[in-house]
A and B are shown apart, each in its own frame.
Chain A
Amino acid sequence: MIYSVFIINKAGGRIYDEDFAHNRQGEEITFPTHPIPLVLSSDTGKVMVKFGASGNVKPGHSVTAVNKQPVSGLYTANDKPILDVINDPASYPLTITFGRTKASANEKLMLASIFHSLFAIAAQISPVEQSSGIKELHTEKFTLRCFQT
């Protein structure tokens, strides 16, 4: 199954990218009382789970809706800071929807140039003379393949 495709030019800039992964359905959890068993952080511009787990929600998931209303950035649909709502015992019971948000256009640019550098360094640190860059990269959950023209 193909999750995404990136095309990177000679200078390391992203020319094209396409995201085919559609399983970003959220997990909706209703918390009866404060506090919730998750540590949230807001340093990436979204409210993300940093530590803890509840149901299928793990670190890496972000808050996509509060009480079934989609959020925008760090604020709920009613323009209240999400973290304030979550930390206020009076908001409970509270329904929060978690999901994996799509990478923003800026992030995709960064990922493309990061890969470009990794590709070049792999060729440099080769124990054998004259290596190409990265052709395949394996992780626990996916494989990345690269073709260089």
Chain B
Amino acid sequence: MSKDEENKLVYGMLHSLKSFVGRISPDTSDAFQSYQTNNYRLTMYETPSGVKFVMNTSLELPLQATRDILHSLYKEVYVEYAVKNHMLSLQTPINSDLFKDKLEAFIHSKMRE
């Protein structure tokens, strides 16, 4: 399926997951973190400002490690190269080569660990 369709599906899925978790949880304030199937894990990290970081990984990587990666990604890449870049509007898709390069470098450094 096309990238656009896939994005819409993922976004709709996340939205439904959030409300599903909110209702089925035995505790009143709960938040969806991740799910796994037989060959991948989807992890979501949401900031208090509503920005959601979603990552698909293989199952070998432990759950806490993926959450830490997403948190570091937010702190070291998104805040530094997307938020602090005044040329970017965070309401439209991010169109910055610098951000893209820094993101790729970050992911490669994490994969080497």
Q: How many interface contacts (CB-CB < 8 Å) are there between A and B?
A: 95
Cβ contact within 8 Å between B23 and A107: yes
A25 CB to nearest chain B CB (Å):
13
Chain B residues with CB under 8 Å of chain A are 6, 9-10, 13, 16-17, 20-40, 42, 56, 58, 63
Cβ contact within 8 Å between A115 and B20: yes
Chain A residues with CB under 8 Å of chain B are 3-4, 21, 23, 58-61, 100, 103, 107, 111, 114-115, 117-118, 121-128, 130-142, 144
Q: Which residues of A contact B35 (CB under 8 A)?
A: 122, 134, 136-138
User: Which secondary structure characterizes the binding site on chain B?
Assistant: mixed
* Partner pick for A126 among B21, B33, B40, B63, CB 8 A cutoff: B40
Task: Evaluate whether A133 and B37 lie within 8 angstroms (CB atoms) in the complex, with A125-B13, A138-B63 already known.
Answer: yes
Please give 9 more A-B residue pairs, beta carbons under 8 A apart, in addition to A121-B13, A142-B27.
A23-B26, A115-B20, A122-B37, A127-B40, A134-B37, A139-B21, A139-B33, A141-B27, A142-B26
